[in-house]
Amino acid sequence: MTDLWERIEETIDELSHLTDIKSAAVVRRDGLVVTHTLPEGVDPKIVAAMTAAIVGTSEMATIQLSQGRFVRAIVESEQGKLLSLGAGEEALLVALVYDDANLGLVLMAMERAAKQVEEILRSPG
Amino acid sequence: MPSTKEGLQRLLDFFVYGMLRASERLGNAPLFLRTIEEEGLRKFLTTNMPQFQAPDDPAEACRQYMQAGDEGGLFDSSDSVFRGDGDSVHAEIGDKCVYRRVCTMRHDEGLPVHCIRAFALAEMLRIRLDADFDWKLERFGRPCRITLTRAKWK
C-alpha cells in the first residue's frame, strides 16, 4: 500500500473513533472505495457507489434549483444518519452516525477530516 | 437484428448517446459510465473474449484486450496503438473506433467527450490485474490520445 493510502487510512481511523460516528469511508467520485471502517456484512463497494450517486444527484439538484454551492448530503433513517461531503476534487468523505448524534460536532470533525484528505491527495504521491 | 451494418451502428449511436446524456443528467457521469462498463465486462468478458488472458503488463493487457475484441468481431483494432511501462499506458485510437460518431457528435455540440473505450480499458485493468488506473483523454481527434495512469492511492 502507498504512503498516501496509509495517511488517508489514519485520518479515517481517527474520525471513526469519535463517539457519535459508527463508521466512515473515503471513496472516489467515480464510486470506488479508497479506505473504510464499515462493519462486516456491509459491502463497501455498494456504499461507495451509492455515496457517489447521492452526492452527484444532490449536486445536480443544487445547481438546477439555483441554490449555490453544494455543501453536504444528509440521509436520515430510523436508526442513524448517513453524511457525505466532498474531500477535494477526486474524493468524498462519508460517515454513518448514530441517530442521536451531536451533528454539530460530527460535521466539524468531518469537515476537518475532509480537508486533511484533500491535502493528502494534493501532495505529491 | 438491424438489416444493415449502418443500421447497427445507428442503433449503437442511439444507445451510447442516450446513456451519456442520462449519466450527465443524473449528476455523476464518471460513476454511471464506469459502473456500466464494470457490470458489462463482468458479464460478457468471458463469453465475448474467451481466449483473453491479461498479462501483468498493463500496455500489453490493453493490446491483447483489443485484439481479443477484434477476433470476437466486436471492433476493429487495427488502428489502435498501446505503449507504456508498468505504471502508465499511452493509447492512440484511430478512426475505426465504433464510438467515434457519438464522440464527434458530442464534441460538435460542445459537450465533454467521455471516452467509452478508456472507461472499458480502465475497468478491464481493474478486473483482470486488480489495479486501479485513472484515465485522461489527452486529445480528441484522429487519432484520439488517451493516457491511463496507475492510481496513486492503492
B32-72 confidence digits (pLDDT tens): 999 999 999 999 888 888 778 889 999 999 999 999 989 88
CA–chain centroid gap for A68, Å, is 21
Topology classification of domain A3-122: Beta-Lactamase (3.30.450)
Q: What is the pLDDT of residue A4?
A: 84
Q: Please state, in angstroms and rounded to a whole number, the distance separating the CA atoms of residues A96 and A37.
A: 10
Per-residue pLDDT tens, chain A, 125 aa: give them. Answer: 578 888 999 999 999 999 999 999 999 999 999 999 999 999 999 999 999 999 999 999 999 999 999 999 999 999 999 999 999 988 999 999 999 999 999 999 999 999 999 999 888 75
Work out the minimum CA distance from A115 to partner chain B, whole angstroms.
17
How many A/B residue pairs have CB atoms within 8 Å? 52
Q: What is the pTM of this model?
A: 0.87
Contact between A52 and B132 using a beta-carbon 8 Å cutoff: no
CATH code for the domain in which residue B95 is found: 3.90.1520
Mind telling me how many Å the CA of B72 is from chain A's nearest CA? Answer: 29
The ipTM assigned to this model is: 0.80
Q: List the domain range (segments joined by +) for residue B137.
A: 5-150
Tell me the domain boundaries of chain A: 3-122
